Structure 1
């Protein structure tokens, strides 16, 4: 956003600055008139300067008030975000474990496809997702995975919904069952009772390089703009992006993405889906363009196969807390990792408190968050972490069992 500036109005020249009109004959009697005109000119100049000064003062006050309101805006926005509680997702579940997996096809040796060809190859595989939630309607995009009705989209598209519908490009609409969703990777799989659908071909995201041409197809800003294609390049690979308490490893692209593109396809120059679009970088105080993100198919395959097999992603033990590295304060409080939040339903709930400083886990010194994560990652769900911690000037010992992460999300 542009900072304060003042656009000064044009000020008419003072009478003594007006050049004489060459067509006007010179005045002969100047003895009395000249002093009078000089006094009049000085008074007129003072009036003009006073008006300009008052105008500037009013404009400055107005601009200052505007920036004060704008400065308060982020605090209000952050407060709403941190206190918002996501409603439970109650979409009817589909059966799992039918053996279906996502197939990744290596890119061929043929020449890159034209943009027109890529659009025709993929548009029938792009669907609209409508969700009914307690606070309104959710809208997004999905990609057809199989001919018999498996659809991939983003977890945040269907999160908090009680019902979901899938609309094909030919306007056919089907109620969808939820196979499973995973908040950490922002992926979800739906199932519709249809056959003869056109599945997309999924390519290998690990073969991408920065600078590769990509296209995005989705439904930006709603139903009226569905099936929109935008182009760009891969601008970064394996970009760590921290979202909602999780670090996602994503593809970064310059292809234009907007609200409604969530769950859509990022496609390589051979017409293969190599990512599921899910994020766009935004800022409340400046313009951000060309910073979109997609989940790479290397992640999509792992998660989607787990969801179809089990309905959840297993094998992710968690303590159920968020922590932050802190330094010793010089007054007795030790260095370590401070507990910032505790997930209800975890074994840590009721044993740890916000503000506890963990300094040791299973006999290993904990100085930074990576120390604690390294100990946790060496264990499985059900294993116990023996923690030494500092709370309000007292040393305590607490045993906390690890739980499967999905149990805290569903």
Structure 2
């Protein structure tokens, strides 16, 4: 073999070895790449599984947050929705608020016993409730609770019994102020009844059925505002509520959910056994000025026309108003030239059908206000301006 052939053989062998090595290298690289791909797939699977698990866990967690699941004795699964849970929470919060109102107001609510003297001695005539409005012993209640009393007894929330004196009364508003000899008594906080709305929570506190159930608390809503009712010939503008009231509640407070007194429980329309959930309270805004006058020893003054009369209607129904029977001397009506036999058709731009309509209009004014009137006299219409005079009512 010559040198050239030898060189060719060596070259061929070397090339084959290189090709073989390359084949081996290529084989080894492919295997590693396959392993890397497998590892990548596994990593992606794990990542996807982790994300899916997280989403599932969040979903389950949110579902558990949205519903409380419990198993009763019959092994049935019952789900309580969040709406129901929130509603229950709101009801509990409201209940807690009522409890707080009761705790703060009840110490200032008293029981009142009206005693009258007869042949057999002092007898219980009436019982009711009262509200301590001044720490020095002033208590407001209904006039009818102490009406005709020879002796008034007050029972504090502590159980202590004290004699009371009548400081002043206003029969027309059914309010009275009594006084006990005591100091540092708990008092209520008077609210603003003009801010009360229909549907608001109403809480009544008082001595239901007299001394048998002292400090009874009932809850309802405000059913109506500025309700006009007639009682013993007097027209009242009152708050209507469905908070349960019973004999003995008269004179007690009607409170809002903040614990402010918004009314004084006064009347109960419940003589018919079929009527339930209708109670009335004098608005605290109306009572404030009256209480202030009674505490200062003054008579309660109200504007007045100075007339008395009755409702009339003509046969053809064209004339309807108040037939004036009497005109008081030195009254606003007298100064305006109004005479007996005149028929009052309108007052302050409003039609009047009876004397109660006149009283409601006057309640919106003060002494000294000037209001217009429309009078029918002998077939003629007369317009006049009346300056409201003062009338004192005990």
Same fold, TM-score > 0.5, yes or no: yes
Residue 130 of structure 2 corresponds to 142
Distance in 1, matches of 2:350 and 2:228, equals: 24
| SS of residue matched to 2:230 | strand
CA drift at 1:403: 7.2
- Provide structure 2 residue ranges, at least 5 long, that are not aligned to the other structure: 1-92, 334-338, 379-386
Segments ≥4 residues shifted beyond 6 Å: 340-348, 364-367, 371-379, 386-391
Q: Tell me: higher relative CO, structure 1 or 2? Use CA pairs within 8 A at least 6 residues apart.
A: 1
CA drift at 1:268: 1.1
Residue 315 of structure 2 corresponds to 329
Is residue 319 of structure 1 aligned with residue 302 of structure 2?
A: no
Change (3 A) 1:377 1:262: closer
**For 1:180-236, what per-residue CA distance to the aligned partner results, in whole angstroms no more than 9, with x for missing partners?**
221222211111111021111222222222111121110121111111111101111
Distance in 2, matches of 1:272 and 1:379, equals: 27
Contact 1:337 1:357 in 2 (8 A): no
Q: What TM-score do you get using the length of structure 1 for normalisation?
A: 0.57
Contact 2:169 2:177 in 1 (8 A): yes
Is residue 248 of structure 1 aligned with residue 231 of structure 2?
A: no
Aligned 1:322-361 pairs, distance under 5 A: 323-324=310-311, 326-329=312-315, 335-337=319-321, 358=343
Residue 99 of structure 2 corresponds to 116
- Report which of the two has the higher share of strand: 2
Q: Which among 263, 267, 279 is matched to residue 292 of structure 1? A: 279
Answer with 1 or 2: which has the greater Rg.
2
Distance in 2, matches of 1:302 and 1:372, equals: 18
Distance in 1, matches of 2:365 and 2:225, equals: 27
Change (3 A) 1:190 1:256: same
Change (3 A) 1:190 1:328: same
Contact 1:127 1:142 in 2 (8 A): yes
CA drift at 1:151: 0.4
Contact 1:232 1:256 in 2 (8 A): yes
Change (3 A) 1:255 1:160: same
Distance in 2, matches of 1:245 and 1:345, equals: 24
Distance in 1, matches of 2:360 and 2:188, equals: 37
Distance in 1, matches of 2:309 and 2:290, equals: 23
CA drift at 1:361: 10
Distance in 1, matches of 2:358 and 2:298, equals: 31
Contact 1:152 1:187 in 2 (8 A): yes
Contact 2:303 2:366 in 1 (8 A): no
CA RMSD, 1 decimal? 4.2
**For 1:250-277, what per-residue CA distance to the aligned partner results, in whole angstroms no more than 9, with x for missing partners?**
1111100111110001111112221111
**For 1:378-399, what per-residue CA distance to the aligned partner results, in whole angstroms no more than 9, with x for missing partners?**
8959x9xx999999xxxxxxxx
Contact 1:336 1:366 in 2 (8 A): no
Change (3 A) 1:390 1:269: same
Residue 229 of structure 1 corresponds to 217
- Provide structure 1 residue ranges, at least 5 long, that are not aligned to the other structure: 1-110, 392-400
Contact 2:346 2:352 in 1 (8 A): no
| SS of residue matched to 2:300 | coil
Q: Which among 241, 251, 254 is matched to residue 263 of structure 1? A: 251
Aligned residues: 281
Is residue 282 of structure 1 aligned with residue 282 of structure 2?
A: no
Aligned 1:33-72 pairs, distance under 5 A: none
